[in-house]
């Protein structure tokens, strides 16, 4: 199972798959000059609304919690990536 870590302005939020729609909502808010996006919780509940704005540091990484070979010491996948939309 993969969990995604979204880091916004130094704070971490953990999200289950799929994240494509959420990434699109964040990008849309940033391109509009700013806007609130609801970040869903990992297990249930209302989530949290975050105001995204241009220039705000946003980083995505993937964590594989399945315990498969090739996994890093902290459960992170070998290939973490940074969001290409971070600079927007």
Residue ranges covered by each domain of the chain: 2-60
Q: Which residue has the tokens 């498969």?
A: 68
User: Helical H runs in the chain?
Assistant: 20-31
| pLDDT attached to residue 63 | 82
48-66 pLDDT per residue, tens: 999 999 988 889 898 887 7
CB atoms within 10 A of CB 12: 10
What's the pTM value of the predicted model, to 2 decimals?
Answer: 0.66
What span, in angstroms and rounded, lies between the C-alpha atoms of 22 and 88? Answer: 16
């Amino acid at each position: 199972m993969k969990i995604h870590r979204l880091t916004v302005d130094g704070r971490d939020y953990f999200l289950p798959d799929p994240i494509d729609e959420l990434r699109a909502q964040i990008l849309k808010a940033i391109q509009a000059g700013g806007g609130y996006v609801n970040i869903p919780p990992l297990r249930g509940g209302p989530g949290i609304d975050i105001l995204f704005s241009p220039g705000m540091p946003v980083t995505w990484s993937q964590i594989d919690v399945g315990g498969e070979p090739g996994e890093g010491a902290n459960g992170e996948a070998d290939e973490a990536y940074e969001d290409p939309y971070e600079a927007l």
